């Protein structure tokens, strides 16, 4: 079983420390929920782990490989950004063929949600359809670890539930760090929850702690 090991991440921006001495681990087969208020640096943290954002200091190891940049993390770590990332003007089938190895394609090509979209171009899909294609692309990829940044963005409640269930089914093969403002689904889905606040990451054991730490309003306690 591989472990994603993240240590000593520091990031500052215009003399403001956004991330300070961040340490976290994620094992294959584990889902780690990452919560935090807007602007606390959740996306920045995920991008630093993935390698697309520079940090003042970082150490990331996936399994036995040290990940310094995107190329080091190839086939080990994939990242779902908040915005739709697939190229426009290209058929979904082609994007899937290029993105996935032949042995990983079958599951997605025969998927009920994807099948009707295969011959459409990305630009012709709705925001929700694009999102579901992207999530499934990543879930079916070879990567051992997935960093999902607001995956439920633009998805209807039914699809959110479906994606939660789908992620659960695939968990034994992957380690997932998931961040979203839909905290109900994050709490439901996660094996462990972390809260990013004032540049520091702390483990949250109970729902009430989220209220105490100011993430949820007191009316939610």
Partner 1 sequence: MPFLKSLKIIALFQRRILPLALVLSIPVLFLSGGHFQFSGYSVLFLSLGLHYWTYNHKRPEAYYYYYNLGFSPVLLWASTLGLGLILLLISYLA
Nearer to partner 1, 75 or 202 (CB): 75
Shortest distance, position 95 Cβ to partner 1, whole Å: 7
Nearer to partner 1, 138 or 210 (CB): 138
Nearer to partner 1, 95 or 210 (CB): 95
Helices (H), 62-217: 92-99, 102-109, 127-139, 157-170, 183-189, 207-212
Cα(172)–Cα(144) distance, rounded to whole angstroms?
10
Shortest distance, position 78 Cβ to partner 1, whole Å: 5
Phi-psi region of 120 (alpha: psi -120 to 50; beta: other; left: phi over 0): beta
Shortest distance, position 143 Cβ to partner 1, whole Å: 8
Nearer to partner 1, 170 or 211 (CB): 170
Contacting positions for partner 1 (CB under 8 A): 50-52, 69-71, 73-75, 78-79, 81-90, 95, 98-99, 138, 141, 143
Residues 6+ apart with CB under 8 A from 176: 26, 30, 31, 32, 145, 146, 147, 148, 167
Contact (Cβ atoms closer than 8 angstroms) between residue 28 and residue 174: yes
Shortest distance, position 128 Cβ to partner 1, whole Å: 17
């Amino acid at each position: 079983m591989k472990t994603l090991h993240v240590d000593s991440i520091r990031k500052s921006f215009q003399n403001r420390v956004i991330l300070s001495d961040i340490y976290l681990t994620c094992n294959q087969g584990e889902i780690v929920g990452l919560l935090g208020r807007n602007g606390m640096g959740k996306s920045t943290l995920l991008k630093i782990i993935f390698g697309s954002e520079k940090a003042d200091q970082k150490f990331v190891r996936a399994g036995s490989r040290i990940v310094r940049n995107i190329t080091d993390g190839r086939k080990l770590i994939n990242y779902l950004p908040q915005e739709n990332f697939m190229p426009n003007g290209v058929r979904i089938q082609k994007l899937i063929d290029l993105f996935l190895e032949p042995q990983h394609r079958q599951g997605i090509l025969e998927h009920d949600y994807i099948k009707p979209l295969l011959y459409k171009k990305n630009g012709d899909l709705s925001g929700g359809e694009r999102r579901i294609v992207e999530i499934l692309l990543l879930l079916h990829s070879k990567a051992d670890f997935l960093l999902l940044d607001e995956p439920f963005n633009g998805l209807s409640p039914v699809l959110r539930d479906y994606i939660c269930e789908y992620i659960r089914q695939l968990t034994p093969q992957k380690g997932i760090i998931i961040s979203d403002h839909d905290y109900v689904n994050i709490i439901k889905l996660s094996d462990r929850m972390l809260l990013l606040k004032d540049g520091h990451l702390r483990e949250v054991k109970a729902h009430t702690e989220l209220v105490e730490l100011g993430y949820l309003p007191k009316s939610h306690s």
